[in-house]
Amino acid sequence: SYRKGGYHAVRIGDPFNAGRYIAQRKLGWGQFSTVWLAYDTQSSNYVALKIQKSATQFSQAALHEIEVLSAIADGDPSNTKCVVRLIDHFKHLGPNGQHQCMVLEFLGDSLLRLIRHNHYKGLHLNKVREICKCILIGLDYLHRELGLLHTDLKPENILLFSTIDPAKDPVNSGASPILSRPESNLNGGSTMNIIEKKLKRRAKKAVAKISGRRTTMGGTTEKPERNLDGVNVRCKVVDFGNACWAAKPFAEEIQTRQYRAPEVILRSGYSFSVDMWSFACTAFELATGDMLFAPKGSQTFCEDEDHLALMMELLGKMPRKIATGGARSKDLFDRHGDLKRIRRLKYWPMNRLLVDRYKFSEDDAREFSDFLCPLFDFAPEKRPTAQQCLQHPWINCTVSINVDMKNQGVATVEKLEVGVNNLHLKARK
């Protein structure tokens, strides 16, 4: 991919945009781009530098992404809407051609990495709630204020706020960022290795803190945090490479398979509610560690059919009108609205799944599925909007009150969580 029309090869210390940005280390990459941590010499901040492949189709895609990101930034001057912020953009000429570059605020690990780090066990429901709230604020902004569909919402495209401040890193303090190429460094770049190792360790620690997992560092095992409720988990929606204006959708097939809404499979047309479907899939995955729908094809049926079967096993039979109403319906459903090639379905509703497989308490399962299930309505127009979700009791239900009744002679109540349907008392005799 590092050839004409492809990625731009970057070395640590490389300058961009007439020396304003200095490359520090690689943060990630996608199909179309590599993303670098860079130091902004103008603002003295760290930023994420996304460098697109140079071929025409990639440049055009980048220009579309820049247009979308500019609209997002213009509509949110205070930068509070939980969507990644575009800081700057420019073109960079390299040996492989001309690359569109985007400068974005520097964020941390993706929710996918958080889920992996937690060994696919699922996060505490309070954390899921906080993350969901951020995503919903972002979606509400995109949908209602901008008329924009993300179309590729998934854990990988939601990044945590970086808890690492490279500028404040002790190894880096005083010495400042890397402003020169490693070969001009007497250590031959070893300073960078130390910083990188240190940053990695810190990143690991930060993720561990959020997921509440034990980590072994420097030979000693740190105890997991006893009370994680104080850690405010915040995140932002990223990757607007596939975003489109609701008024002019351009692709028929959108979304990553596991997060794809039924109307996209059936080619019945789509709107904002496709993001709500993907959001609900993401929320389930955060809470359980498992993808909700992971369809597989076989010799007798295709991936789409398995996907629809999995949906109906969880959500009940698709209404006949919806099942038969899409451009692809005839391939998949008979005229009664039954799948042609998968005949026997085993119904396993959401609240039972949460209790039986994921060992949720009955209360947690009921409250969480009350929140999720309406988002999985087969009728797209019946799904709640992001704005409506933000009003839902599950998003707002828990108020934590720390009460000290030590001298009341009864018990020491450490924390009181008041829910809508239940009351938890964590008491210590």
Is residue 427 helix, strand or coil? Answer: strand
Among Mg ion, ligand ADP, none, partner that 238 touches (CB below 5 to 8 angstroms by kind): ligand ADP
The number of CA neighbours under 13 Å toward the Cβ of 335 is 0
Classified as helix, coil or strand, 42 is coil
Contacting residue, 31, 173, 220, 407, with ligand ADP by CB under 6 A: 31
x/- track of binding to ligand ADP for residues 105-144 (CB under 6 A) = xxx--x----------------------------------
Helix (H) or strand (E) holding 39: strand 33-40
Q: Which sign does the torsion angle of CA 237, 243, 249, 255 carry? A: negative
Which one of residues 68, 71, 72, 84 is an interface residue with ligand ADP (CB under 6 A)? 84
Q: Which of 37-70 are b and which e, b meaning 16 or more Cβ less than 10 Å from the residue's Cβ?
A: bbbbeeeeebbbbbbbbbbeebbebbebbbebbe
Whose Cβ is closer to Mg ion: residue 65's or residue 239's?
Answer: 239
Nearer to ligand ADP, 157 or 329 (CB): 157
For ligand ADP, the closer of residues 50 and 260 by Cβ is 50
- Which conformational region is residue 18 in: left (phi greater than 0), alpha (psi within -120 to 50 degrees), or beta? left
Q: In the set 140, 239, 275, 306, which binds Mg ion (CB under 5 A)? A: 239
Question: Measured from the CB atom, is 24 or 110 closer to ligand ADP?
Answer: 110
Find the helix or strand (DSSP H, E) in which 73 lies. Answer: helix 56-74
Q: Looking at beta carbons only, is 162 or 329 nearer to Mg ion?
A: 162
Q: Using the rule CB under 6 A, which residue among 5, 30, 182, 289 binds ligand ADP?
A: 30
Widest pairwise Cα distance in the chain = 77
Binders of ligand ADP among residues 223 to 282 (CB under 6 A) are 238-239, 241
**Comparison of 40 and 105: residue with beta carbon closer to ligand ADP:** 105
CA distance linking residue 237 with residue 148, whole number of Å: 13
**Minimum separation from the CB atom of position 238 to Mg ion (A):** 8
Name beta bridge partners: 92: 99
Task: Give start and end residues of each alpha helix (H) in 118-236.
Answer: 125-140, 190-211
- Is 152 considered catalytic here? yes
Instruction: Decide: is 140 part of the binding site for Mg ion (CB under 5 A).
Output: no
CB of 65 to Mg ion, least distance (A): 11
Which residue in the shown chain puts its C-beta closest to ligand ADP? Answer: 30
| 194: amino acid identity, one letter | I
Pair of tokens at residue 98: 């001309």
Q: Which stretch binds Mg ion (CB under 5 A): 22-30, 110-118, 308-316, 342-350?
A: 22-30
CB of 37 to Mg ion, least distance (A): 17
Q: Phi and psi dihedrals of 417, rounded to 5? A: -110, 120
Number of residues that bind Mg ion (CB under 5 A): 2
Of these residues, 152, 304, 306, 364, which one is catalytic? 152
Q: Confirm if 160 and 107 have CB atoms less than 8 A apart.
A: yes
Does 146 engage in binding with ligand ADP (CB under 6 A)?
no
Binding-site string for ligand ADP from residue 93 to residue 112, where x marks contact by CB under 6 A and - marks none: -----------xxxx--x--
Q: Does 26 carry a binding-site annotation?
A: no
Q: In the bound complex, what is the minimum distance in angstroms from residue 27's beta carbon to ligand ADP? A: 4
Contacts of 333 by beta carbon, 8 Å cutoff, 6+ apart: 323, 324, 339, 340
3-state SS assignment for residue 171: coil
- CA dist 102 → 12, 43, 53, 89, 139 (Å): 18, 16, 12, 4, 22
Q: Minimal distance in Å, beta carbon 242 to Mg ion?
A: 9
CA pair distance 10, 1, nearest whole angstrom = 13
210 scored as a contact of ligand ADP (CB under 6 A)? no
DSSP 231: S
| Number of residues assigned to the chain | 429
- Residues 48 to 77 in contact with ligand ADP, rule: CB under 6 A: 48, 50
Instruction: Determine which residue in the list 30, 75, 212, 374 makes contact with Mg ion, applying CB under 5 A.
Output: 30
Least spacing, CB of residue 193 vs ligand ADP, in Å: 20
Our finding on whether 35 is near ligand ADP (CB under 6 A) is yes
Shortest reach from residue 178's CB to ligand ADP, in Å: 17
Q: Among 7, 21, 32, 378, which residue interacts with ligand ADP (rule: CB under 6 A)?
A: 32
List strands edge to edge, sheet with 97-105: 15-16, 21-29, 33-40, 45-52, 97-105, 86-94
Which residues sit in the known binding site for ATP?
A: 50
Point out which residues bind ligand ADP (CB under 6 A): 27-33, 35, 48, 50, 84, 104-107, 110, 156, 159, 238-239, 241
Point out which residues bind Mg ion (CB under 5 A): 30, 239
Which residues sit in the known binding site?
A: 50
Show which residues are catalytic: 152
